[in-house]
Structure formats: structure tokens, C-alpha cells
Amino acid sequence: MKLRKKIAVVGVATALVAGVVLVAPAQAASKDLVVGITLDIDKLDPQGATSFSTVRALGLVYGSLVEVGPKLQIRPGLATSWGFNAAGTELRLHLRKGVKFQDGSAFDATDVKASLDRILDPANKAAARANIATIKSISASGLNVTLTLTQPNVPILAALDGVNMAMLSSTDIAAGNVGKAGSVNGTGPFKFVSWDAGQSVKLTKNSTYWGGAPKLDTVTFRVIPTEASILSALNAGTVQFAVITSPLVAKQVSSNLTMYKTPGLAYMALQINARQAPFNNLNVRLAVQCAISRAEVVKTAASGDGSVIGPITSPAYKSDPKARPCPEVDLVKAKAYLTAAGYPNGLTFKTMVAPTQQATIAGIGQSLKSQLAKAGITMELDVVDDSTFVSRWLAADFGTAIANNGGKIDPDTMYTRYFTSTGNLNKVAGYSSATLDSLFTQGKASGSVTQRTAIYKAISAELENNAAWVWLFAPLEYRVTAKNVTGFVPLATGSLLELRKVDMN
Amino acid sequence: MQGISKLRRLVFSSTFIRIASAITTLFGISVFVFLVLRVIPGNTITGAFGIETGALNPQQIAELRHYYGIDQPMVMQYISWMRSFLSGNFGYSFATGRSVFTLTKVALPVTVELAFIGTILGVIMGIAIGMFSARKPGSLRDFGGQLFGLLALAIPGFVLSTAIVTIMANKFHYFPNSLEYMPPWKDPWMNFQQMMFPGLVLGIAVAAPVMRTTRSALLETVDKDFVRTAFGKGVPSRKVQFKHVLRNSLIPIVTMTGIQFGYLLGGAVIVEKIFALPGMGRQVLEAITRREYATVQSSVMVFAIMFVTINILTDLVYRRVDPRIK
């Protein structure tokens, strides 16, 4: 009897385990791509999208006038050609013929005008309004649009890219339907199907897409809250695509998966509030800058996956990371600056960090803390959550902060808002000067690449020599796909638009 | 007759006191969570717009404050929320575009199911190992049981969860939680697969205190006169263990189980996160990050109501388990 009981128990347990292990969940059908995301999307209005998940998902549904390609070149999107007048105050765009919205209606200049007007209307709280605020008027006719600007602004062309500059149907705008689940209507390669809050966003291919119907039938963004679990899902075959930010998780990606490591435009910096003591003393800022080895930060915080940068990460105008007062760590200089600042015995300050903002932030904090200690500088980490960080950051309620900032393909859109005295984030940046104001105005007005290169080099020098911030490094971005996913081209902007060309074997 | 009526009054008054104290507790929690959310830096606007809040002008911020209802005095905000909550309107989640009630309707069953599975597994494991240990105190089997208790207490849930997920996915290509969550009424088999491992992780966490409580309660009871008498009368050992010793040791075990179930309701956040379960823990965590006041407040109140209810039910179970309490 006892033996029989034992056999029964072992039998049931074995059947259970075998059932569970062998009857593994069915894999997704061949042309259905599942993308793992850690955070759910938070809105359906593309022009108001700020979270990475929302930007990536809606970026497949909506189109913009221009696109940024793999080499960060500006290429045609819904506009096929463009040109500025000699003064740089008028931008004329010619639109693509035969483009249709997903509801079947035709796309034309009226939609462009309505979309840009919607972005410019402060009531709509569009995320990219500041980038096109120099538009004075818009004239639309057929497939031609003319933007008249209040001042010369060549970089505005690059600002027309992205989901925040999504072109919407003028009918939807007039009806007040934008952002409503039943009215998601773009010109992008995929159509919105459903959003199950906290779980998934489902898209299906747009067969009438102007760039040709995508090869994938569906794309599902599935919320799996940790990157480690997303990697497990990739290994299990239930997810076929993911963007990973943690170098530690990226190191565990097996050879059964394909990994794309690409340098992005985003950068990590020790932001300094130069309007607050003791950082209102230039020598203190320079001492901090000279006591830090950026290469060491990359090695310890990002497992070596990153490159040391200067202020500007935009490829065409990239700053030389060696052109700074201390290109390498120099403790003697650091101590000399400290003595000159009146702190011969060192000083103590706090640095605000939100480790959940980006995977390398906690490591950066620890690395900086130990490096600065060698120069007699005690850095205390003030650890806060994301929302607290944002709130205090906006109020400039910090001496220093470790920030993960997004880069842009044009330095004007990247830094005007931070380092010009009238920029909307200048309070946060904590530094401005008449020289910078003048240089940024010149950069905006110039249409010559040579001239602009010289201008942004001067801006870099001004920022570095005054140690406005301590620019650290640009982390690599990791996109991981299943082996059967082919044709993906990573974009440094973080957009997943190139899923339109992806196939699954 | 008079005695019975006095007793009845006493029972009624103790029940009344219990309920009144529960209501006071709930009121205290509602005020606490309301104030804590407003004391910490950030608000719904910074939660929704992040650093782009810096691009908003004062008029836009004023409009948004009005839109989110955070331009009202705090007392008015509290009264407005309480009035809505008591009438069944839990508020609105701006990030998901759904009412908090709708979100809770989906998330609560997930968490409750997970807590139930965790508690049941924990109680079964805890009592079994506790009894196993207590049979021969100081022996190797007792050492083994206590070692299990120690390990179960010492290994954090996130470590165990991550280890299970990683091993199952890497070695067996098995991670059902990365598929769409299936409620039991839609696909019971898939639901079982999705709940099995997170339930086990929580079960192990519950088993440790239950095991330790069971062991000490059994050791205390086994020395009682009535147990010796039962053995002396020749009652079979198994019958004495279950009917006399375990039965008389149940009070602390029930108390511990009740407390653990309550904790599981709120403490499953990490397990829900790693196993990608769309439960209440995740709902609250994400809402805190976004500073969605209504979602956090109403969800915490749902937790609190359940916790308080479970405590009252635990008291009722005492009466059932131990007639002396009546």
C-alpha cells in the first residue's frame, strides 16, 4: 500500500513536471514579431509622446515630414524635397504623392498645416513645440508647404523628424479625435489594433504604406517589466526583439540571439548647477572636472560599452573629447584648482542620482565618488526616484546631478534650450553667457556646414573651459533579436522605424 | 436567560468595536497615503511630462494643474477623492486612459489568486515541514527542517524568481509569463503555468514563518497533559499528532497565515514584476512613479480594506478553531 502510494505520488509529480516542461507555450506565428518593453506606453497622442515605449510604438504608426537615416543623414519622409530661401527664413517642402492615412483618406498639405498648427498651439502641450517655435506662418497648397520663420533657422529641418512631429489627419484634428483609441490614424508602416493597458500594444501591417507593405504581419509590444525577464523571454522564444539598456544584461545575451550594439546620441553627464555655491566658483568646477577619468567611468559603470564624449554628440559636429582643460585625470591640477578656489583641504557636495533612470547611473555615481575622493573631494550620493529627480531637476534644486540626456542630430536643438540665457531649461543647466548666446544665434542662422562646424567647436570650447557640466560618455544601445529576425537596421535616434523592413524566417 | 443575553451583548459589542477600529484604521491609512503622496517631490504633471515639464509655460502648467485637479486646496482634494471612492468611483488613470476601477478589476484578481496560491503552498509546506521537524527535536530531520526555514527566510524573493526564470528560459526555453497573461476562466492551463512559479516563490516565503510557528507550537503542545493521556490510553501516534497536538496548536498558525496572506497582497510587487504579472503591486508601483494620485490612493485603499477584512476573518476563524474563544 505504501509502495503504491509512493508510486502514485511520483507518477503525478512526474506527469506534472513533464506536462509543464514539454507542453511549452506555442511560439508566435512566423511573421508576428513580439517586442519586449519594460514600460507600458502612456498615451496615444504621438505629438505628446515622451516615454521611450510610447515614442517607439507610435513611431511605427505615424510618419513625419523628414526622417533621420542610419548614418544620421536627413532623408525624405512624407516630404520628398525641400529648400531654404537665401536668408534661411523660409522653408519650402514638397510632399510625397499618393500617401494615404490608415483610414484611407489622402494625405496633403492641409494635413501638414493642421498638424504643425496643432503642435504650435500651447494648449496641446506638444513635446516638440519649442523646436519649431520659430514658425511664424504656414501656407499650404496641394502638395506644397511653406514655413515662414521669425528668424533664420536652418536646424528646423532636422527638427521635423520623429514621432513628436507626426503628421495627423486634418479631419481627426478638427474632430478632436487625436489620442483616442478608436481614432489612431497615421501614415506609418503599421496600423494600431489595440492597447491592453499594462500588457501589450498590438499593431498590424499597413498594406498601403507609401514605402511598400511591411513583411511582418503584426508587431506586438509586450510589457515585461525587467530587462532580465525580457532576455529570458528572448531565450524562451516568446519575444523576438528587445531594446536593452543595461550592459550587465547585454553581457548575458547568448550566441543564439543577434545583438546590435550601436552608439546612440544620448549621453551621460555630471550636471553642475553653476549658479549655486560652491559651484559658482569656476575653480571648483574645474577641480571636479580634472579629478575624473571618464575612461574609468566607462569601464566600471558601463562595462566598457561606451565612448568618452565632449558636449556635442551630433555626428556632423561632434566635440573632440580631448579638447578640454583636463583630457585625462590630473589630480595635481585638480588640487591646484581646489586651492585656488579656497578649498585646500577639499570639499564635500551632494549629487542627485535616480538609479532607475538608466542602468549605468548607479555605477557612474560610485565611480565618480571614489575618483573624486582621491582629490580630497567628498561626493555624497543623494539617491531619489525618477519623479523626485525630475521635479528637483526642473526647479534646479541640486548642486550636481548625474543626468542621462537625449542627444539630437543637430546641436542647436540639443543645447539651445539649455545654454542660451532665454532657453527654457537654462535654469536647470545652471550656466549661460553672452558668448554662448551669440554663438547659438550664429549657428541657427548659418546654412554653411563649415561655418557651423567652427561655431559649434567654439561652443564646445566655451562649455568645457568653463566646466559648465562634466560630460562623461555616450553609452552603447543594444538591440537584441531572435536569429530568425532579419533585415533590421538600428537607428541612433532610438527609433524602431526600420522594423518596416524586417522579415522573419 | 439573562446570562445568554449578556453574552450576546458582549459578542455584539466586541464585533462592533472590531469594526469601528477597522474603520478608524482605514481612515488613518487614507489620510496617510494622501499626505505622503503630496509631501514627496513631484506631481502628476512631472510624472506625465518628465523633463519636458520644463518646456511648459506657467499658463500651461496652471491649466494642467486644473485638469489634474491638483489646483484645489488639499482638504478639498481629499474630500473629493473620498466622496468618489465611497461611491465606487476610484478615479481616472491619465496614463492608461482608463478608470482606476477598470484597472483594479483586472489587476486585483491576479494578485488575489497569486496570494491564495502562495498562501496555500506556504501553509502546506510550512505545516508539513514544521510537523516533520517537531517529531524529533534536535535530530537530523529537525536540523533539515530548520535549515529549510532559515534558507527560505534568507533567500530574497527576487533572487529566487530571477533564478527560476533564467534557468527555465535558458535551459528549457520555457517562460510562459512572457506570453499574454491568461485569467483562469479564459485558459486555466495557461493560467496555471503562469501562476505556478510565482506562487511557489511566494509559497516558500510564507512557508518559513509558518514552519517555525508550527514547530514551536507543536513542541509546546506535545508536552501538555492531555497529549500524554492520549498516548497513555493507547491512541495511535498519527491520530494524536493530527487530532490532538496539531488541532491545539492551530491558533498561532492561523494568526501567522492571516498575517502572511495580508503581506502577500502588498508584498508581491517584485514577484509580479519579474514574472510580468499584471497585478495590483505593479499597478501601484507604476502609478507611484507617475505620481498618479488617484490610482495610488484608491489601490492602497483596496489593499487596506482587504487586509483589515482578513484580520477580522482571522479572528472569526479563531472562534471556529478554538471554542474557548467563544
Q: Domain residue spans in chain B? A: 2-99, 101-321
Q: Do A225 and B276 touch (CB under 8 A)?
A: yes
DSSP assignment letter at A319:
P
Q: Which of A11-15, A73-77, A408-412, B171-175 has the lowest mean pLDDT?
A: A11-15
pLDDT at B94: 78
B67 chain-A contacts, CB cut-off 8 A: none
Q: Do A394 and B54 touch (CB under 8 A)?
A: yes
With a CB cutoff of 8 Å and minimum separation 6, the contacts of A347 are A278, A284, A338, A376, A377, A378
B101-321 CATH, one of 2.60.40.1180, 2.20.25.160, 1.10.3720.10, 2.40.10.10: 1.10.3720.10
With a CB cutoff of 8 Å and minimum separation 6, the contacts of B44 are B68, B70, B94, B290, B291, B292, B293
A233 chain-B contacts, CB cut-off 8 A: 169, 175, 178
CA distance to partner chain A, nearest, from residue B14 (Å): 43
pLDDT at A108: 95
Mean local confidence (pLDDT), A87-94: 92
What does pLDDT average to over chain A? 89
pLDDT at A2: 54
B190 chain-A contacts, CB cut-off 8 A: 25
Per the model's pLDDT, the better-predicted residue between A27 and A371 turns out to be A371
Confidence of residue A5 (pLDDT cuts 50, 70, 90): low
DSSP assignment letter at A23:
S
A423 chain-B contacts, CB cut-off 8 A: none
Question: Would you call the peptide bond into A278 cis, given omega within 30 degrees of 0 as the criterion?
Answer: yes
Mean local confidence (pLDDT), A69-94: 91
Contacts with B, A 2-21, CB within 8 Å: 20-21
Question: ∠ CA(B291), CA(B295), CA(B301), 5° rounding?
Answer: 120
Confidence of residue A25 (pLDDT cuts 50, 70, 90): very low
A450 at interface of B, judged by CB pairs closer than 8 A: no
Per the model's pLDDT, the better-predicted residue between A145 and B224 turns out to be A145
> Chain B residue closest to A122 (CA)?
B60
Q: Do A43 and B162 touch (CB under 8 A)?
A: no
Highest mean pLDDT among A22-36, A166-180, B309-323: A166-180
Q: Do A388 and B96 touch (CB under 8 A)?
A: no
Q: Do A388 and B41 touch (CB under 8 A)?
A: yes
Q: pLDDT tens across A215-260, in order? A: 999 999 999 988 999 999 999 999 999 999 889 899 999 899 999 9
Question: ∠ CA(B124), CA(B129), CA(B132), 5° rounding?
Answer: 125
Q: Is ipTM over 0.85? A: no
The whole-angstrom separation of Cα B50 and Cα B34 is 22
> Chain B residue closest to A127 (CA)?
B52
Helix (H, G, I), strand (E, B) or coil at B218: helix
Q: pLDDT tens across B170-223, in order? A: 889 999 998 989 999 999 999 999 999 999 999 999 999 999 999 999 888 888
Please say if the pLDDT value at position A22 is more than 50.
Answer: no
**Residue A399 has which C-alpha cell?**
548642486
Q: Do A223 and B103 touch (CB under 8 A)?
A: no
The whole-angstrom separation of Cα A306 and Cα A419 is 25
What separation, in Å, do the N-terminal and C-terminal C-alpha atoms of chain B show? 17
Please say if the pLDDT value at position B11 is more than 70.
Answer: no
The whole-angstrom separation of Cα B93 and Cα A195 is 14
B106 chain-A contacts, CB cut-off 8 A: 198
Angle between helical axes of A449-465 and A434-445 (0-180°, round to 10): 160
Q: Determine which of A32, A387, A425 to mutate to test the interface with B (most B C-beta atoms within 10 Å).
A: A387
Question: ∠ CA(A59), CA(A92), CA(A148), 5° rounding?
Answer: 100
A330 phi, psi to nearest 5 deg: -140, 95
CA distance to partner chain B, nearest, from residue A432 (Å): 17
Question: ∠ CA(A354), CA(A436), CA(A433), 5° rounding?
Answer: 80
Q: pLDDT tens across A407-433, in order? A: 888 899 889 889 999 887 888 899 999
pLDDT at A109: 96
Task: State how far Cα B44 lies from the chain centre.
Answer: 27
pLDDT at A355: 87
Please say if the pLDDT value at position A1 is more than 50.
Answer: no
A94 phi, psi to nearest 5 deg: -110, 130
The whole-angstrom separation of Cα A340 and Cα A330 is 15
Handedness of CA B188, B190, B194, B196 (dihedral sign): positive
Query: CB A44: neighbour CB atoms within 10 A?
Result: 22
Of A36, A122, A222, the CB nearest to B57: A122
Mean local confidence (pLDDT), B67-93: 87
Share of chain A above pLDDT 90, in %: 65
Q: Determine which of A27, A238, A384 to mutate to test the interface with B (most B C-beta atoms within 10 Å).
A: A238
Residue A499: which of A293, A281, A206 has the closest Cα?
A206
Q: Do A36 and B173 touch (CB under 8 A)?
A: no
pLDDT at B129: 93
CA distance to partner chain B, nearest, from residue A6 (Å): 17
Query: CB A269: neighbour CB atoms within 10 A?
Result: 20
The whole-angstrom separation of Cα A260 and Cα A322 is 28
pLDDT at B267: 61
Q: Do B169 and A235 touch (CB under 8 A)?
A: yes
Share of chain B above pLDDT 90, in %: 31
Please say if the pLDDT value at position B1 is more than 70.
Answer: no
Size of interface A-B (CB pairs under 8 A): 159
The whole-angstrom separation of Cα B185 and Cα B276 is 19
Of B48, B95, B178, the CB nearest to A233: B178
pTM for this model (two decimals): 0.82
> Chain B residue closest to A397 (CA)?
B41
Residue B304: which of B107, B12, B32, B16 has the closest Cα?
B32
Share of chain A above pLDDT 70, in %: 94
A233 at interface of B, judged by CB pairs closer than 8 A: yes
Q: Which of A19-33, B130-144, B231-245, B249-263 has the lowest mean pLDDT?
A: A19-33
pLDDT at B3: 59
A384 chain-B contacts, CB cut-off 8 A: 41
Per the model's pLDDT, the better-predicted residue between A204 and B53 turns out to be A204
B178 chain-A contacts, CB cut-off 8 A: 36, 222, 224, 229-230, 232-233, 236, 238-239
pLDDT at A13: 55
> Chain A residue closest to B290 (CA)?
A387
The whole-angstrom separation of Cα B185 and Cα B197 is 19
pLDDT at A143: 95
What is the maximum alpha-carbon separation in chain A?
98
Contacts with B, A 26-55, CB within 8 Å: 36, 39-40, 42-44, 50-51
Confidence of residue B238 (pLDDT cuts 50, 70, 90): confident
Q: How many residues does chain B have?
A: 326
A462 phi, psi to nearest 5 deg: -60, -45
Helix (H, G, I), strand (E, B) or coil at A106: strand
A18 chain-B contacts, CB cut-off 8 A: none
Mean local confidence (pLDDT), B272-294: 87
Q: Do B178 and A392 touch (CB under 8 A)?
A: no
Q: Do B174 and A236 touch (CB under 8 A)?
A: yes
Q: Which of A150-164, A454-468, B43-57 has the lowest mean pLDDT?
A: B43-57
pLDDT at A106: 95
